A and B are shown apart, each in its own frame.
Chain A
Amino acid sequence: QLVESGGGLIQSGGSLRLTCEVSGLSVRNTYMSWVRQAAGEGLEWVAVIFGGGSTYYANSVKGRFTLSRDNSRNTLDLQMNSLRVEDTAVYYCVREVHDYAGIAGFDPWGQGTLVTVSS
């Protein structure tokens, strides 16, 4: 189970920290991502952290967002700085499934947390 928190209303240029509380699996051994969805829009992959700790980011957030994890708390954190109006979206925490043959999609998904950036 994945439970996101930390969303809210923030002014452009501000910062927010999203947290994903993970149960039933260990973040230490898992590929975990954030995916966002603006209202009425499609899905956009934001960032991933590998089991080994490497991180990758979408170009739209690179240099502004930082993904980390806390193995002791079994949580995932997304630090979002220099927020822009276009970052307004529901942010989902997801596990990236890998099986014997490779990638098997994002499952499960959290319920999402809404980030609203005002101008």
Chain B
Amino acid sequence: ETVMTQSPAALSVSPGDRATLSCRASQSIGTNLVWYQQKPGQAPRLLLYRTSTRATGVPARFSGSGSGTEFTLTISSLQSEDIAVYFCQQYDNWPFITFGQGTRLEIK
């Protein structure tokens, strides 16, 4: 099983600043990575797929990069509505998909 490890577990960022979230795979997954955003009390929402392709309606301040085992989700200028938990997901071993444990993003 491919284990996904996200860091940090929690991140505090000031409005307007850049937020950088990391996701590491226990083995190479190419660019088979997805990011989700989950706000309190809501279901997760698709953000990025194939490492860096934004889903419909996702603002351009969200971007993704990486390949192999190291991946990054960057929010270029944090807005208050970006406060959420962010999960990464690999599908290299599809259909046996695994998720990271999440990074909680907070406003400083």
Contact = CB atoms under 8 A, between A and B. Distances in A.
Tell me what chain B mostly uses at the interface: helix, strand, loop, or mixed. loop
Nearest to A101: B50
Contacts of B102: 42-43
B46 interface: yes
Interface string A99-119: 001111111011110000000
Contacts of A44: 99
Given A103-B91, A105-B34, A106-B34, A45 B99 contact: yes
Nearest to A102: B50
A49 to B, nearest CB: 10
Contacts of A41: 101
Chain B interface bracket (under 10, 10 to 19, 20 to 34, 35 or more): 20 to 34
Given A43-B99, A45-B97, 19 more contacts: A41-B101, A43-B89, A43-B102, A44-B99, A48-B95, A50-B95, A56-B95, A92-B43, A103-B32, A103-B50, A104-B49, A104-B50, A105-B36, A105-B46, A106-B34, A106-B89, A107-B45, A107-B55, A109-B45
Q: Which 10 A-B pairs have the closest CB atoms?
A: A109-B43, A105-B49, A107-B46, A43-B99, A105-B34, A45-B97, A42-B101, A104-B49, A105-B46, A56-B95
Interface of A: 33, 41-45, 48, 50, 56, 58, 92, 97, 101-107, 109-112
